[in-house]
Structures are given as C-alpha cells and as structure tokens.
C-alpha cells in the first residue's frame, strides 16, 4: 500500500528519497513521486516503477536538501500522474503526501470549491494541500493543526511549505508515521525505508503533528509542544538485500529455521504475556488468520476450552456480545493491517483483554493492544509471507506453554529438513495447466492447506482452493476431474485412516494427488509425495507449509510471474 518518505539534512535529498521509495516498493504501488523544496516547490511524478521516475530525474535533474516522496497504491482514482502524490495547493505554497483515507473528502471538496479552488485530481488527498493554504497565516504548524482538525478518517501526512524550504511537517491519525534521526532527519510510514544511518526513531501517536528540521524534530499535540521519545529502531529494510538469491521470497523461505529459532529464544514481549481469561479468540487476516487456524487444536489442548478463530474483517461486524474476562490474540506480521487494528479496538470495546503477536515491535498493533509478543522473523520484503507465517505458529507454540516446549524447540531443525525435502519441487511448474488446484487437510493441516492455496493464488494467479479434507465430498468434489492436482497434507498419524479415504476418493475421480506427509503409508497412496520429518501434529503447520511455499514459488517462477510483487497486492493492507 502507499508509502511515505521525507528527508531534510545537509545533503541532496533526492537520492535519499529515491532509495526510500525503492525500499517501499515491496508494499505494492502503481505510481510514485517526489517534491523538493527550494525557491519554489518542484514535483516529479511517474506512473509505474520507480525506475521511470529515476529516468525523468536523469533527464531533468532536481536538487535540494529537503523533500518528500510517495509510492501510491490506487484507491480513489486510477493510477495516473494526475492522481500521483505529492499534491500541490493551487497557490503552489504546500506539497502533500498522504497515506490513509479522508472519509469526508466530498464535504471538504465542496468547501474548497466555495473558496474558488477546483481540485485537479480524483484523489481524497489533494484536498489536504488546498486546505493547508486556506488555513495558513504564516505558521505552517498552526495551519496543519487547523487542517487536520477538519479531516475525518485515517491519515499519515508529509508536508512541505514553500516559505520554510528546510522543514517538513507531519501529522498522524490511524496510519503509521515515524521520524528518524541520523545524518539529517527523516520521515517515513515504514522503518524499512529509512537510510542506514538512522539510529533513533520517534513513533508518532494519533493526533500528533511534528516539525522536522535537519537537526531534529518538535512534536505537538493539539497545537501544544509535547515530549518526543526516541527509541532504537528494530528493523532496517535498506539493510535487506537479496544476498545472491533471485527473489526475496526464496531468501525468506530459507531464513525460516533461523527466524523460528530467534522467535522462540529471544524474548521480545510485554510484561504480562500469556494465555489467560475464560475464553480465547484468535484474530488475523490472510496468512495470519491461517496461522491462527492451524493452531486452534494446539490452543484448545493448552487451555482445555474451545477456541474461536475469526477473520478480522468479519469479527468487526459480528454480534457485539460482551466478552469481559475473555482474551483476544491478534496476529499480524506487519502490525499495521487496518482490519486487524480495528478488530483489536473492537475487541477492547467488547471487554476482551488484547494481546498482539506481531513481527514489528514499534507497530500500531502493539500500541493498540494491552500486551504483545513479538515474532523475530526480521524484515519480510516479499509480499507473499513465508517466515511471517511460520514464526507466528512458533509464537503460538510459546503461548501454549510448557507442555509443548520441547516440540517448539524442535521446530527450527524440522523446518531445515522441510526446506531440504522441498528442493525436490524444483521445476514443478509442469504439473499445473492453470486449472484449479486443491489443498486439503484436517486439524492443523487444514490451516496449512488454506495457506498453501493462498500462496499459490497470490503469486502464480492459478485458482486454488484450501479445503478441510472432510468437506470435499460435500460439494467441491464436483470440480475434480482427470489430472486435477490435489495436495494432500497429512502430518497427524491419528488421521491416517481418514486421510487415506480422502485420497482414494480423489484418485477414483482421476485427481493427481501430491502428498505432504511424514507417513510412508500416506505417501504410498499418493501419486507422489514430499516426505516431512515427524512433527508434533499441533505445531505441524510451521513445517508442512514449507513445501507448499516452495511449490507456489516454483510454479510462479515457471510462469514468469513477478514473485516478490504480485499484481494488485500490497504487503501491508492499511485500509479496511
């Protein structure tokens, strides 16, 4: 989704902004632009990759020590140069980059039209630039305070004012925004986009505005100066490099044993972290939901109670049943997924105690929840999550308590073995002709099946269905015909009999079954199989998912897909 970078310092800001925009590319975007302060503010924008923006800058260089930049992922208005940020006020006084959604955009457009200004773009963001110039009487911080008081919705704003060409102004509401300090001062929606020399950051809170100079920042709340805590940054995306791998997804797959080991051995958690309360609900989106679902049997065993697992976007609109004394665990790799953050707020309103499991310590989710437990996967650049998923399963294993401690400790070694077994999936694109692929499993294997299907869909664009093996016969089996690929995941020896039946049912209809299993009996019943090491059946998704990730990767590679940046997708989905 959209990304913000800003820099003011004693050197040319343009390369800093371009490097920052490149570091933000992984979030997904369709256009990008920069604004540089000077005698007047200059903007350069381009649709498509950052490289086309760079070409424009090569053809007509711009230089200046203070600027802002943006990668846009279109919501309001198509990806065109006109809709690309930064947006300028009609008088040329202000340039604005914006992440989030201005919900009262229509009213505000009417207001600026009354003032004789006609918006040029289809975006909800442009209006902020015009409002700033209407609210300005010589002090940009005051103008920003007035303008943000008119906005409804979510926003992270970076602003330049032509009258103060060395300063950047910022405002934050329900969309992340960080200030970084090093050789100059930086603004970004994502710590991974900050330059390497940034050694301290301030995480802006909702309702805060800020003024950035080359020497630091001043933070305000409702117009009054407030303290500005500086902390050490936990990630540096600019440090993330391919290290010889062709794609971040492959690199991150191979980082899983180490990432799991770090997660289970390096404590990064709040003070009270643990399972507590009279009921437990796990919430997430996409892969985080799948990780939660795969651990339902584990947590039911650990708590001795039934455990609910909900999609964040559905939980929000479920009945508001009071939940005092109950606990809600919210999983999010990024810690910035809007649905999950909204679900955390809703859970607190219903009376749940809230616990975040996230990979980003300084994220909105950790600040929204009562308590947190951090996975230690390191920066994840590929849009398709891999180590994010497996470290979440490991973290849930930690939460499940001492009964599972030895099984959790085995996970890094088992993940290593699963990676080796997955090597056998190289060049497997040939299995798939574009028709629907099924992934089936029971219990923890069902969560892994959903994740396997999601991986294949998102990076290869092949239709895939993750299904509880017992459900196949209730309708979806009508899609099985000669050659239909079915991936059967079976890691629980107690379910071998049932799984053999499901496999036979598929094969009878001509389906081609690839087993992902530790059981020789299951493997023998399949057309072919990836052999996993034996793994605790309630933590098995951390291991069984690895060949599924590799399968998706190899298929997408064979089809020539843009593996790390699949079409239409964003790394962190910051709108509901």
**Residues 449-468: x/- map of binding to ligand M6R (CB under 6 A)?**
-----x---x----------
Q: Which is nearer to ligand M6R, 253 or 384 (CB)?
A: 384
Question: β-strands 528-531, 512-517: how paired?
Answer: parallel
Write the CB contacts of 470 (distance below 8 Å, at least 6 apart in sequence): 442, 498, 502
CB of 291 to ligand M6R, least distance (A): 8
CB of 571 to ligand M6R, least distance (A): 7
Q: Which is nearer to ligand M6R, 450 or 486 (CB)?
A: 450
Q: Which is nearer to ligand M6R, 170 or 459 (CB)?
A: 459
Per rule CB under 6 A, is residue 256 in the interface with ligand M6R?
no
Across the beta sheet with 353-358, what order do the strands follow?
307-311, 280-284, 327-332, 353-358, 371-374
How far is residue 273's CA from residue 266's CA, in Å, rounded to a whole number?
14
How far is residue 378's CA from residue 259's CA, in Å, rounded to a whole number?
7
**Residue 490 annotated in active site:** no
Q: Which is nearer to ligand M6R, 35 or 355 (CB)?
A: 355
For 294, counting Cβ atoms within 10 Å of its Cβ (0-12 exposed, 13-18 middle, 19+ buried), the class is buried
Asked if residues 88 and 95 have their Cβ atoms less than 8 Å apart, the reply is yes
Q: Which is nearer to ligand M6R, 348 or 496 (CB)?
A: 348
Residue of 93, 172, 251, 571 marked active site: 571
Q: Convert 538-565 to b/e letters by CB count within 10 Å (16 or more is b).
A: bbbbbbbbbbbbbbbbbbbbeeebebbb
Residue 292's SS3 state is helix
Per rule CB under 6 A, is residue 573 in the interface with ligand M6R?
yes
CB of 349 to ligand M6R, least distance (A): 20
Give Cα 85 distance to the centre of its chain. Answer: 22
Per rule CB under 6 A, is residue 43 in the interface with ligand M6R?
no
What are the start-end ranges of the H helices in 295-439?
A: 296-303, 312-315, 338-350, 364-368, 387-399, 405-422
Question: β-strands 42-47, 31-36: how paired?
Answer: antiparallel
Restricting to residues 388-447, which ones interact with ligand M6R according to CB under 6 A? 388
Cα-flanking dihedrals φ and ψ of residue 446, to 5°? Answer: -70, -45
Among 170, 374, 384, 541, binds ligand M6R (CB under 6 A): 384
Write the CB contacts of 58 (distance below 8 Å, at least 6 apart in sequence): none
Q: Which stretch binds ligand M6R (CB under 6 A): 136-144, 381-389, 492-500, 513-521?
A: 381-389
Residue 84's SS3 state is coil
By CB under 6 A, the count of residues binding ligand M6R is: 17
Q: Which is nearer to ligand M6R, 358 or 484 (CB)?
A: 358
CB of 219 to ligand M6R, least distance (A): 27
CB of 334 to ligand M6R, least distance (A): 3
CB of 320 to ligand M6R, least distance (A): 23
CB of 383 to ligand M6R, least distance (A): 5
Q: Which is nearer to ligand M6R, 256 or 385 (CB)?
A: 385
Among 189, 385, 390, 518, binds ligand M6R (CB under 6 A): 385
Sole residue written with tokens 């073995």: 417
Residue of 2, 145, 374, 526 marked active site: 2
For 78, counting Cβ atoms within 10 Å of its Cβ (0-12 exposed, 13-18 middle, 19+ buried), the class is exposed
Q: Which is nearer to ligand M6R, 147 or 366 (CB)?
A: 366
Restricting to residues 324-353, which ones interact with ligand M6R according to CB under 6 A? 332-334, 337, 340
* CA dihedral sign of residues 213, 218, 223, 224: negative
CB of 309 to ligand M6R, least distance (A): 14
**Residue 172 annotated in active site:** no
**Residues 269-288: x/- map of binding to ligand M6R (CB under 6 A)?**
----------------xxxx
**Residues 515-554: x/- map of binding to ligand M6R (CB under 6 A)?**
----------------------------------------
How far is residue 349's CA from residue 318's CA, in Å, rounded to a whole number?
13
First to last CA, the chain: 12
CB of 235 to ligand M6R, least distance (A): 13
How far is residue 551's CA from residue 381's CA, in Å, rounded to a whole number?
19
Look up residue 162 and give its DSSP letter: T
Tokens of 480: 């099985």
Q: Which is nearer to ligand M6R, 89 or 99 (CB)?
A: 99
The residues of the shown chain that bind ligand M6R, judged by CB under 6 A, are: 285-288, 332-334, 337, 340, 383-385, 388, 454, 458, 572-573
Catalytic positions, please? Answer: 2, 571
């Amino acid at each position: 989704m959209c990304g913000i970078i800003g820099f003011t310092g004693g050197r040319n800001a343009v390369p800093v902004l371009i490097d920052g925009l490149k570091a933000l590319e992984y979030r997904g975007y369709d256009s990008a632009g920069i604004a540089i302060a000077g005698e007047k503010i200059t903007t350069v924008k381009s649709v498509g990759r950052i490289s086309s923006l760079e070409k424009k800058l090569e053809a007509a260089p711009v230089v200046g020590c203070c600027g802002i930049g943006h990668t846009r992922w279109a919501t309001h208005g198509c990806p065109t140069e006109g809709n690309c940020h930064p947006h300028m006020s009609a008088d040329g006084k202000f340039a604005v980059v914006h992440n989030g959604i201005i919900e009262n955009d229509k009213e505000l457009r009417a207001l600026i039209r009354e003032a004789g200004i006609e918006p040029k773009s289809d975006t909800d963001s442009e209006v902020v630039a015009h409002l700033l110039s209407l609210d300005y009487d010589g002090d940009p911080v005051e103008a920003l305070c007035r303008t943000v008081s008119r906005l409804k919705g979510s926003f992270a704003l970076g602003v330049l004012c032509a009258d103060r060409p060395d300063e950047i102004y910022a405002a934050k509401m329900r969309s992340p925004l960080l200030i970084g300090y090093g050789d100059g001062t930086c603004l970004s929606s994502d710590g991974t986009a900050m330059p390497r020399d940034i050694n301290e950051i301030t995480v802006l809170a909702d309702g805060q505005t800020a003024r950035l100079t080359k020497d630091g920042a001043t933070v305000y709340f409702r117009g009054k100066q407030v303290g500005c805590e500086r902390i050490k940054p936990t990630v540096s995306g600019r440090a993330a490099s391919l290290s010889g791998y062709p794609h971040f997804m492959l690199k991150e797959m191979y980082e899983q044993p180490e990432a799991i080991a770090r997660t289970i051995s390096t404590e990064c958690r709040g003070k009270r972290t643990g399972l507590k309360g009279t009921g437990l609900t796990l919430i997430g989106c996409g892969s985080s939901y799948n990780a939660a679902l795969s651990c339902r049997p584990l947590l039911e065993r650990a708590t001795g109670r039934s455990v609910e697992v909900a999609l964040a976007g559905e939980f929000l609109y479920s009945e508001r049943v009071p939940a005092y004394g109950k606990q809600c665990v919210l999983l999010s790799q990024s810690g910035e997924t809007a649905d999950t953050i909204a679900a955390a707020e809703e859970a607190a309103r219903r009376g749940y105690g809230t616990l975040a499991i996230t990979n980003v310590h300084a994220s909105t989710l950790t600040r929204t929840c009562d308590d947190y437990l951090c996975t230690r996967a390191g920066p994840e650049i590929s849009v398709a999550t891999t180590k994010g998923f497996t470290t979440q399963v490991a973290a849930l294993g930690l939460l499940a308590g001492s009964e599972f401690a030895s099984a959790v400790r085995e996970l890094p070694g088992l993940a290593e073995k699963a990676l080796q077994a997955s090597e056998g999936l190289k060049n497997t694109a040939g299995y798939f002709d574009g028709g629907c692929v099924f992934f089936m499993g029971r219990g923890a294997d069902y969560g892994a099946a959903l994740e396997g299907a999601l991986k294949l869909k998102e990076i290869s664009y092949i239709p895939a269905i993750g299904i509880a093996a017992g459900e196949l016969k209730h309708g979806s089996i009508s899609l099985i015909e000669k050659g239909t690929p079915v991936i059967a995941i079976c890691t629980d020896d107690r379910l071998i009999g049932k799984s053999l039946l499901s496999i036979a049912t598929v094969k009878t209809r001509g389906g081609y079954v690839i087993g992902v299993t530790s059981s020789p009996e299951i493997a023998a019943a399949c057309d072919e199989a990836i052999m996993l090491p034996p793994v605790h059946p309630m933590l098995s998704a951390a291991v069984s998912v690895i060949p599924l990730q590799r399968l998706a990767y190899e298929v997408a590679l064979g089809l020539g897909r843009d593996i790390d940046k699949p079409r239409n997708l964003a790394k962190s989905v910051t709108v509901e």
